[in-house]
Amino acid sequence: MGASLGEWRHQRQVHRGIWPLKLSVPVISIGNLTVGGTGKTPTIACLARAWQKRGGHPGILSRGYKGGADGNDEYHMLKEQLPDVPHLQNPQRHKAGEQLLKAYPEVDLLFLDDGFQHRRLYRDLDVVLCDAKDPFGGGYCLPRGRLREPVTALARAQHILLTRSERCTEVELKKVRGFFRQMFPTIPVSLARTEVVGLQKLSGEKIDQYPEGQFLPFSAIGDPSGFQHSLKSHGIQIHPSICFRDHHSFRSTDLATLERKSTELGAAGLICTLKDAVKIREMTLPAGLQNRVYVLEIRQNIDSTELLEGFRPGTPRGEVN
């Protein structure tokens, strides 16, 4: 009922000529069909860097889900990875876009984070990310499954990106790509791989070596299984992971629990994601955690040429191929 009501409202606004609202520069939406992590943030970071290498000036728009005045987890992750890329968070994405372009007139391409369901804002390219291992979140819409809307909604997409493809066999990838091509024959399908760069200290300092032994992973992300898979694939020995809810705000009691658990296990150290690190690095760590928390550094490997084809730095709206 909720999805049907939302579709009716959207069509009503479209027919009245109100939606979609356009901005003065091209917009690429990076979204997904399911709740939970599919790699939107590292995908945006990858494409924004690729745009900069072309001589362009990217900007980022996002809702700011569960974020305060200082921004949410994803905001701080992207700010650390892309310190020179302006990023505004506001549920009214069109308004945020106008504000960003006024403050940063050099921006010539905007990335809309988690934009597939936000249909008020016009986009020049609608990219939908699907986890290659479980593209449809169990096959059911919320609350029974993890789909935010029916699979048929993918017909709105202009490009499907299968993330975490490194977790699939060639047979599995062939099967899932074949399904998409059969169901949506006109929509291009490409692959993205999550690559481990290495470990760094909580402060962000790169390290070449880390203690031997088993580490205790902990995270507050949408899909902790991907984090654990990355650790194992990099040859890091781990204890069973401690998982908090996505967007969890860490408290001193959580850190005390992590300290106690790592001591009980005799862990060589603890490892978290960058999404967790940006939240806890300003906290006062217990003595048992100081200099013992490491951060897994990953990057998304994508053929950006295919996704950015038709966009040229400095090109105003109306001249995008």
Q: What pLDDT digit, counting tens, does each position of 234-280 carry?
A: 999 999 999 999 989 999 999 999 999 999 999 999 999 999 999 99
Domain 2-194+301-308 shares a fold with domain 196-299: yes
What distance in Å separates the CA atoms of residue 94 and residue 98, rounded to the nearest whole number?
6
pLDDT-based confidence at 15, cuts 50/70/90? very low
**199, β-bridge pairs:** 296
| pLDDT score at 161 | 98
**Alpha-carbon distance values, 196 to 120, 235, 244, 318 (Å):** 36, 11, 22, 39
CA distances to 115, 158, 247 from 27, rounded to whole Å, are 10, 13, 26
Which of 189, 196, 186 is closest to 175 using CA atoms?
189
Question: Residue 250 has what pLDDT?
Answer: 97
pLDDT tens digit string along 33-56? Answer: 999 889 999 999 999 999 999 999
Cis amide leading into 211 (omega within 30) = no
Q: What is the pLDDT of residue 8?
A: 46
What is the predicted pLDDT for the residue at 6?
54
Residue 138: what pLDDT?
A: 87
Q: Are 274 and 297 in contact (CB under 8 A)?
A: yes
Predicted confidence band at 210 (pLDDT cuts at 50, 70, 90)?
confident
pLDDT at 89 over 80: yes
Q: 2-194+301-308 in CATH: which number?
A: 3.40.50.300
Q: What is the pLDDT of residue 106?
A: 97
CATH architecture of the domain with residue range 196-299: 3-Layer(aba) Sandwich (3.40)
Averaged pLDDT, 185-199: 95
Q: Where are the domains of the chain?
A: 2-194+301-308, 196-299
pTM: 0.89
Which among 191, 113, 186 is positioned nearest to 154, based on CA atoms?
A: 186
146 and 35 Cβ atoms separated by less than 8 Å: yes
Average pLDDT over residues 179-198: 96
